[in-house]
Amino acid sequence: MVEDGKTARGVVLHNIQADGTPIRSVVRPYAVTDFSTGRPYLDEAGAPLAVIQVRLLPRSRFLEIVRAHTHRVFDGRPGQWREEYDDEAATDAMTEEVIVDWTGLYGADVQPLACTPETKRALNYARKKDLINFALQTETVEAVEASFRAIA
């Protein structure tokens, strides 16, 4: 507890309200990387050539999408059922949800690539998984110094 009129130093978690409510509107830039080196593609000034704006994906929403793409199927033996997960469909659904926009991406015809549901789904599977993992890192932080006063 901070005394009235005192200053506290700490960290703001931008993905959650004080009451525990998640905030899904937080968007972070993802610099497109070369998978062979793990380094982003940079211009001469050191700025990323391509950036994808990614909306955070809370674990609860991730699990909703997984459940929506998991179905019980008959196993062929009496009374035997198993769950089957459609990873490709779930990955596409998550990718469509987390990508807000992008800049610096071009198609094979060297024309700017429009950020549409179709082009999001057409991204490389490894890229989509990397974006989803990035979106699951929901703890964006900022160091702060705040003053506290008692409410009259």
- List the pLDDT tens digit at each of the 152 positions of the chain: 445 555 556 666 666 667 766 666 678 899 999 989 999 999 999 999 999 999 988 888 999 999 999 998 887 888 788 889 999 999 999 999 999 999 999 999 999 999 999 999 999 999 999 999 999 885 555 555 554 444 54
Beta strand spans in the chain (E): 7-13, 27-31, 33-34, 39-40, 51-55, 70-74, 81-85, 99-103, 141-147
The type of residue at 56 is: L
* pTM over cut 0.85: no
Residue 131, judged by CB atoms within 10 A of its CB (0-12, 13-18, 19+), counts as buried
